[in-house]
């Protein structure tokens, strides 16, 4: 008798569908290639990117610091020029034989933080209390290095002072100190004129104010 087997037959491993092994091998190859690319290419590239980023940040910080130094260079140069002119003016005043020593000493006081020599009454007028006079009061934190004297001449008890200042507001501060001093009186309102950098060849190219003061000397 002939027997007919209607149950599905199981395929042997050798009879698996063609291409499955090849696909598996290809997948394994892709994963391996990806791992190799990650280790040999991607990770070094990331490290190099981070290194370059750190160098760029460091360079930017250094450039910013240099820009800050360059930004205040005109102010630094102006301060140096002002100090040089101030020292020269004091040297010229000390070298003169026309003015008495007390007048020279008082000018030196006015051109420093020491301030003018004042009477008790004038000290009260220049103070900020109820007895003070706003027209005679001067700023206590003003820097006298902002002005310099180019000439100081006298004729009898009259004097004429010429000089320069970094800012126009520096000139009345000097005038108020001279007016407050016991060695000067009737100090006139200062006349000032802005001098542009193009008008001062050989200097640092910073504008300043040329001024003239006059009044009387108390010998």
- What digits encode the pLDDT tens for the residues 96-109? 545 678 888 899 89
Q: How high does pLDDT run on average in the chain?
A: 78
What is the structure's pLDDT at 97?
44
**Of residues 146, 136, 217, 123, the one with CA closest to residue 175:** 136
Q: Using 50, 70 and 90 to split pLDDT, how confident is the model at 196? A: confident
Q: Is the pLDDT of residue 183 over 70?
A: yes
pLDDT tens-digit series, residues 11-30: 555 554 556 767 777 776 77
CB distance 178 to 215 below 8 Å: yes
Residues written for the chain:
219
The answer to whether 149 and 93 have CB atoms below 8 angstroms apart is yes
Write down the pLDDT at residue 172.
93
């Amino acid at each position: 008798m002939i027997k007919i087997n209607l149950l599905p037959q199981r395929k042997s491993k050798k009879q698996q569908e063609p291409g499955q092994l090849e696909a598996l091998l290809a997948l394994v190859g892709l994963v391996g290639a990806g791992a190799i690319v990650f280790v040999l290419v991607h990770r070094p590239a990331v490290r190099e990117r981070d290194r370059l980023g750190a160098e760029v940040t460091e360079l930017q910080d250094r450039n910013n610091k240099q820009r800050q130094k360059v930004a205040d260079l005109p102010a630094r140069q102006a301060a140096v020029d002002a100090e040089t002119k101030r020292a020269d003016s004091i040297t010229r005043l000390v070298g003169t034989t026309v003015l008495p020593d007390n007048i020279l000493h008082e000018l030196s006081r006015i051109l420093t933080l020491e301030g003018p020599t004042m009477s008790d009454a004038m000290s009260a007028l220049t103070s900020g209390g109820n007895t003070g006079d706003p027209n005679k009061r001067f700023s206590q934190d003003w820097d006298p290095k902002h002005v310099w004297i180019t000439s100081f001449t006298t004729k009898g008890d009259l004097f004429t002072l010429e000089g320069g200042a970094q800012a126009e507001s520096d000139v009345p501060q000097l005038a108020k100190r001279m007016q407050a001093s016991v060695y000067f009186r009737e100090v006139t309102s200062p006349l000032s004129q802005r001098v542009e950098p193009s008008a001062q060849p050989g200097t640092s190219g910073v504008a300043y104010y040329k001024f003239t003061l006059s009044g009387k000397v108390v010998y």
